[in-house]
Structure 1
Amino acid sequence: MEFKSRNPFLNNKSFSPTSRAEQVHEATVIGYDQDMTISGTINKTILLFLLLTAAAMVTWWMTFNGMNPIVPAIGGAIIGFVLVIISAFKPQYSGYLAPGYAIFEGLFIGGISAIFEVKYPGIVIQAVGATFVTFAVCLGLYKYRIIKVTEQFKSVVVAATLAIATYYLISWLFSLFTSYQPVHYGNSMWSIGISVFVIIIAALNLFLDFDRIEEGAQQRMPKYMEWFGAMGLMITLVWLYIEFLRLLSKLSSKD
């Protein structure tokens, strides 16, 4: 059985070779400028990152000028999630949905970052730095094939990701209706260990994302899949950044 990235975008059936054939009539001539490319995906990822950063900075500025960061954080998270769901089913609209996702996710990131920064000064720049370093290291390891994305590799990462998602969901439901406090709450060694494990799995998901983007370019997927792939990669990076924030906050609270 073939396992692919659990990222809702990069695991979409639009990345399959057959989907390309179904979308193009046999008599249609397709030019290379209409196909997905790695460079095009990189450019769109950079654009999405800039939009996300700009939105986050606006929320950051407003927060430190008296606005409650919870409002943009919750609103951005909800709308961003809705756009994720729509794009997962309608990837052809990714050119419009991906920028919207970046902006609203930026509101979420800005709000959450401001909350952490108030309590733990300096934590945001540390989390940003850790995220960038992790991304650069993973990209280098993938580019030079030091780590190869085999079927076994995919299976392990997917299984671990599903386990994390299931654990988070069950813990959240229990905490809503009972007095149960999940193990990953607080700053115990168990909690810190869980955060480290989640960060490792999030980083490993980057390899799966790189692999799916490369496959999409090789299979000459439609041009809009560049937005689709860029959006999926941003989702993983946001996850990684949030987990670094959580880990660093736990470590800071132990001091």
Structure 2
Amino acid sequence: MNSNNPFFKTKSFKDNNEATHDAVIIDYNQTMTVSGTINKSFLMLILLIASAAITWMMTLNGQNPIALTLGGGIVGFVLVLISVFRPQYSTFLAPGYAIFEGLFIGGLSAIFEVMYPGIVIQAVSCTFVTFMVCFGLYKYGVVKVNDRFRSVVVAATLAIATYYLISWLLSLFTSFEPIHYGNSMISIGISAFVIVIAALNLFLDFDQIEKGAAQRLPKYMEWYGAMGLMITLVWLYIEFLRLLSKLSSRD
């Protein structure tokens, strides 16, 4: 289970794996399965869409959703951090993440929709198609996840996260304007690169879920796996929103 995926921490899966194999009798009805993880992923998606509708409608009705939008994003991030260190609480943390992240996504999507009509359905479609293509490539063995693949994807993901953090801090306290702002060709290229890396993270998610089920990890790890997949999909969707908005603003 040597995955370097930032969310699917090796320690979380390793500790649970050792605990499972130390038991003399394993109740397979209480262990992680791929189908169980898929079902929980769909449930989280439903919760996210339902809560997103709240801030979406608030915005379209002329109300200010900024408090719920920012609050949802912050709480969702906190729940992710807690789950990383306490995966055994994922049964409660994962649905909570979907609900609060939905508030953030709904408000953000509505803002983009007002600025660029039709952009949300485009971003949703792009995200769905990307997911299905990646799933198909993984399922039929076209793309295989090995140690080198993991290392490259994780290194790129951490580099992007570091760049975003530094750029945000500099723009917050100085007059510095990051190169990924605006609609220049360089900015568009950066967004396209980030989308590729986000999509590659889906392969890590698929691989870790499959391995977790094969190792008979505890049942709550289905929620943990579903949460990891949802985090990647949310990231991918937001990046598509950013890219499409840049392209639309050039028209």
Per the shorter chain, which TM-score range? over 0.9
Change (3 A) 1:3 1:227: closer
Q: Are 1:15 and 2:9 an aligned pair?
A: no
User: CA separation in 2, counterparts of 1:130 and 1:110?
Assistant: 17
The TM-score normalised by the length of structure 1 is: 0.95
Point out 4+ residue stretches in structure 1 off by more than 2 angstroms: 18-27
Change (3 A) 1:205 1:181: same
User: CA separation in 2, counterparts of 1:152 and 1:135?
Assistant: 22
- What aligned pairs does 1:170-181 form with structure 2 within 5 A after superposition? 170-181=166-177
Identity of aligned residues (%): 70
Unaligned runs of 5+ in 2: none
1:103 to 99, 111, 133: 99
2:152 to 146, 151, 156: 156
Q: Are 1:69 and 2:92 an aligned pair?
A: no
User: CA separation in 2, counterparts of 1:160 and 1:94?
Assistant: 27
User: CA separation in 1, counterparts of 2:19 and 2:126?
Assistant: 42
| Aligned match of 1:194 | 190
| Aligned match of 1:182 | 178
Q: CA deviation at 1:4?
A: 1.8
User: CA separation in 2, counterparts of 1:117 and 1:22?
Assistant: 48
User: CA separation in 2, counterparts of 1:197 and 1:3?
Assistant: 22
Change (3 A) 1:25 1:145: closer
SS of structure 2 residue aligned to 1:145: coil
Q: Deviations over 1:178-201 (max 9, x none)?
A: 111000000000000000000000
1:205 to 180, 193, 201: 201
Change (3 A) 1:137 1:100: same
Q: Are 1:78 and 2:80 an aligned pair?
A: no
Q: CA deviation at 1:21?
A: 2.7
Q: Number of aligned residue pairs: give it.
A: 250
The TM-score normalised by the length of structure 2 is: 0.96
User: CA separation in 1, counterparts of 2:18 and 2:111?
Assistant: 48
Q: CA deviation at 1:23?
A: 5.5
SS of structure 1 residue aligned to 2:216: coil
| Aligned match of 1:113 | 109
Change (3 A) 1:3 1:101: closer
Q: Does the aligned pair in 2 maintain the 1:69–1:115 contact within 8 Å?
A: no
Q: CA deviation at 1:57?
A: 1.1
Q: Are 1:165 and 2:134 an aligned pair?
A: no
